[in-house]
């Protein structure tokens, strides 16, 4: 006999009851009577789990793969930040002097922002993937070309990029701590990096400005040189907000034992640290353990704001034969994926549980429009800032907003709201922002997206 407490019956009964509760709550929420917390699948995807820890989890993407269904669905489900793997580089955006092409980069930015994902900009000033005309300019011309490139590319995406890798890989490998030879270094001298950052600040004052490099993940001569530069910039007020640690690891260059300590010393200079191009050669448990170490190091450093892996699937990795990513060539989750998710979901892993959640209430309605209010509530740790996304449903349009600093995607339906003096929240504390939606005949409640907290 099957008793009511038998596994199958009980679980299908509780599933039915849960469905009823959810459906009822949904109806009440749709009627504007109660507010539902935005906790959908909070702990089951990389992006949502990272958001609960006040961080983003991103991936590099290639525009020409977005049409592949499994690629797009893995990207859309798991990640809440993207970096264009190649499409924003100089050779892609300004192959011929002062003739800019943004088609592929636009595709990535639109894909990401229409889904509430952040975008990292990569990269403005770099010795590689640099068209040969740049190397042929004299100093004055090169300075003008560099600043024009920064202004044009950043200007295109002004207000839409979370962080820009303003300068990439400007230091030599090895023990010298010297600058790498490049047209910029050789013709403009050491000051070119500072100039690039100053130009970048003016070009998009809302973007965080990063210096990005590899083999700087542990304490060594190269990371010391970067550290000294960042310390000097901070001391002299040169605008720099973040340092990117690419974190390309393999057996010859494993996760350094002082990875966390190195992130922390940079964070102590007052800049954010971000893991920007993570991939780790290998497979199975060894690879999974290395990934856990990286995630735990970031979680333990409160200014480590996010992690980007350098690709969605092993099959399109820049070093595919190393199988360095979280999804295999068939988009199956690897042990490394599970290790990352578990590390993100583990409590007490250090760094506190900086996070935030969103709730929505309709506060007023007229014949043609309604007012919505979104409450941002900090998790169990205090936060210093938040980024919330809200999507309205076409042909709805938002006519005005208050108590926040809004940006929009190109469709005009995805609102990304950041604080306007109301960023700092104590643990469990909350603040609200509001907006008026012109219904244009559609009275559907807005859909809440992610809430990403800054620790």
CB distance 241 to 209 below 8 Å: yes
Residue nearest to ligand 9MR (CB): 318
Tokens of 436: 């008026």
Residue among 78, 94, 195, 277 flagged as catalytic: 277
**Whether the Cβ atoms of residue 383 and residue 425 lie closer than 8 Å to each other:** yes
Show the beta-strand stretches assigned E in 256-312.
272-280, 304-309
Distance of closest approach, residue 85 Cβ to ligand 9MR, in angstroms: 5
78 is a catalytic site residue: no
Q: Work out how close the CB of 349 gets to ligand 9MR at its nearest, in angstroms, rounded to a whole number.
A: 28
Q: Which structure tokens are listed for 381? A: 């740790």
Residue 283 near residue 334 (C-beta atoms within 8 A): yes
How many helices (H) and strands (E) in the chain?
Answer: 13, 17
68 is catalytic: no
Nearer to ligand 9MR by Cβ, of 210 and 383: the residue is 210
Minimum distance between the CB of residue 193 and ligand 9MR, rounded to whole angstroms?
A: 16
Q: How many CB atoms lie within 10 A of CB 416?
A: 23
Closest contact distance (angstroms) between CB of 409 and ligand 9MR is 25
169, 195, 272, 362: which one is catalytic? 169
Which residues are at the interface with ligand 9MR (CB under 6 A)? 85-86, 128-129, 214, 246, 277, 318
Name 197's Cβ contacts closer than 8 Å, sequence gap at least 6. 166, 167, 209, 233, 238, 239, 240
Question: CA-CA distance, 19 to 60, in Å (whole number)?
Answer: 37
User: What Å distances lie between residue 119 and 3, 168, 217, CA to CA?
Assistant: 53, 17, 22
C-beta of 169: minimal distance to ligand 9MR in Å? 7
- DSSP label of 145: H
- Residue numbers annotated as active site: 169, 277
């Amino acid at each position: 006999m099957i008793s009511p407490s038998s596994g199958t019956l009980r679980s299908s009964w509780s599933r039915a009851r849960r469905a009823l509760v959810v459906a009822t709550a949904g109806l009440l929420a749709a009627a504007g009577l109660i507010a539902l917390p935005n906790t959908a699948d909070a702990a089951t995807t990389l992006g949502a789990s990272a958001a609960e820890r006040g961080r983003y989890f991103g991936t590099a993407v290639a525009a020409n793969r977005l049409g592949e269904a499994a690629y797009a669905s893995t990207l859309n489900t798991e990640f809440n930040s993207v970096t264009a793997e190649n499409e924003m580089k100089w050779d892609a955006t300004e192959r011929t002097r002062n003739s800019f092409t943004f088609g592929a980069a636009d595709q990535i930015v639109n894909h990401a922002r229409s889904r509430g994902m952040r975008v990292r900009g990569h990269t403005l000033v770099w010795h590689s993937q640099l068209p040969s005309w740049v190397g042929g300019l004299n100093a004055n011309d090169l300075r003008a070309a560099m600043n024009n490139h920064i202004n044009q590319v950043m200007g295109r995406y002004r207000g839409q990029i979370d962080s820009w890798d303003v300068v990439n890989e400007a230091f030599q490998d090895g023990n010298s701590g010297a600058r790498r030879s490049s047209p910029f270094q050789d013709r403009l001298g050491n000051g070119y990096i500072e100039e690039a950052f100053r130009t970048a600040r003016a070009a998009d004052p809302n973007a965080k400005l990063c210096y990005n490099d590899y083999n700087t993940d542990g304490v060594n001569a190269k990371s010391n040189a970067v550290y000294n530069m960042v310390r000097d910039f901070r001391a002299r007020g040169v605008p720099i907000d973040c340092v990117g640690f690419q974190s390309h690891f393999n057996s010859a260059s494993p996760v350094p034992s002082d990875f966390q300590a190195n992130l922390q010393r940079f964070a102590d200079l007052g800049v954010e640290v971000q893991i920007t191009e993570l991939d780790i050669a290998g497979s199975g448990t060894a690879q999974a353990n290395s990934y856990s170490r990286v995630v735990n190091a970031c979680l333990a450093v409160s200014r480590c704001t996010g992690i980007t892996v350098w690709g969605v699937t092993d099959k399109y990795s820049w070093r595919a034969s190393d199988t360095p990513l979280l999804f295999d060539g068939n988009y199956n989750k690897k042990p490394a994926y599970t290790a990352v998710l578990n590390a993100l979901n583990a409590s007490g892993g250090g760094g506190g549980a900086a996070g935030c959640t969103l709730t929505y209430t309709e506060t007023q309605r007229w014949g043609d429009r309604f007012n919505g209010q979104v409450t941002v509530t900090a998790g169990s740790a205090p936060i210093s800032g938040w980024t919330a996304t809200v999507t309205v449903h076409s042909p709805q349009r938002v006519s005005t907003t208050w108590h926040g600093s809004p940006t929009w995607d190109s469709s005009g339906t995805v609102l990304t709201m950041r604080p306007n003096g109301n960023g700092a929240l104590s643990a469990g504390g909350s603040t609200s922002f509001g907006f008026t939606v012109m219904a244009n005949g559609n009275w559907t409640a807005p859909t809440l997206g992610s809430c990403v907290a800054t620790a």
